[in-house]
Amino acid sequence: MDLDKFISSVRFNCDVTDARHAGIYSVCGLVMRLRDLYKWERRIPPWQEDAPEKVLEWIGERETLWEDLMEAEFQPLSIAGQRFDAFDAAGVNQFIHPMNLFYGAGYAHSLKPTFFLADIDDGFSVDGRPVQVLGREHARDLLTLPAFSQDGQVVFRTEAGRMFLWDQILYLGSSGRRAFEFAAMKCGLADSDPKTVRRHFDRLWKVQKNLYIRHEIGELDEETFDRDIWQQMLADYPHTAVELLLRTLKDLLADTGEKGTLPYLIRHRDAAGLGLYMAFGNGITRMLTQPLICAFDEFIAKAEWKRIAEASYGVRQAMISRTRQVMDIYAEGRHRKDPSWVRQAIEKEMRQSGLIRK
What are the strands of the beta sheet with 113-126, ordered from one edge?
Answer: 101-107, 113-126, 129-140, 153-157, 147-150
pLDDT classification of 87: cutoffs 50, 70, 90: very high
What's the angle, vertex CA 204, arms to CA 198 and CA 208, rounded to 5? 135
d(CA 198, CA 222): 35
- The reported pLDDT for the residue numbered 335 is 95
Task: Note whether 187 and 144 are within 8 A (CB).
Answer: no
**pLDDT tens across 23-51, in order?**
999 999 999 999 999 999 999 999 999 99
* β-bridge pairing 147-150 and 113-126: unpaired
pLDDT classification of 306: cutoffs 50, 70, 90: very high
Q: Which of 16, 28, 140 is nearest to 66 (CA)?
A: 16
| pLDDT surpassing 90 at residue 165 | yes
The DSSP output letter for 101 is E
pLDDT classification of 150: cutoffs 50, 70, 90: confident
**pLDDT tens across 267-295, in order?**
999 999 999 999 998 889 999 999 999 99
Q: Which of 248, 262, 344 is nearest to 307 (CA)?
A: 262
pLDDT classification of 136: cutoffs 50, 70, 90: very high
Percent of the chain with pLDDT over 90: 96
| CA atoms in the 13 A half-sphere facing the CB of 350 | 23
The average pLDDT across 95-102 equals 95
What's the angle, vertex CA 126, arms to CA 124 and CA 128, rounded to 5? 100
| pLDDT surpassing 70 at residue 180 | yes
pLDDT classification of 1: cutoffs 50, 70, 90: low
The average pLDDT across 322-350 equals 96
pLDDT classification of 80: cutoffs 50, 70, 90: confident
Instruction: Please classify residue 114 by burial: count the beta carbons closer than 10 Å to its beta carbon, then call 0-12 exposed, 13-18 middle and 19+ buried.
Output: buried
Q: Which of 254, 246, 247 is nearest to 349 (CA)?
A: 246
Q: Residue 110: left if φ>0, alpha if ψ -120 to 50, beta else—which one?
A: left
Q: Each residue of 214-231: b (16+ CB within 10 Å) or e?
A: bbbbbbbbbebbeeebbe
Q: Which of 119, 135, 122, 145 is nearest to 14 (CA)?
A: 145
**What pTM was computed for the model?**
0.94
| Dihedral sign for Cα atoms in the order 39, 119, 87, 160 | negative
- The reported pLDDT for the residue numbered 255 is 98
d(CA 249, CA 237): 15
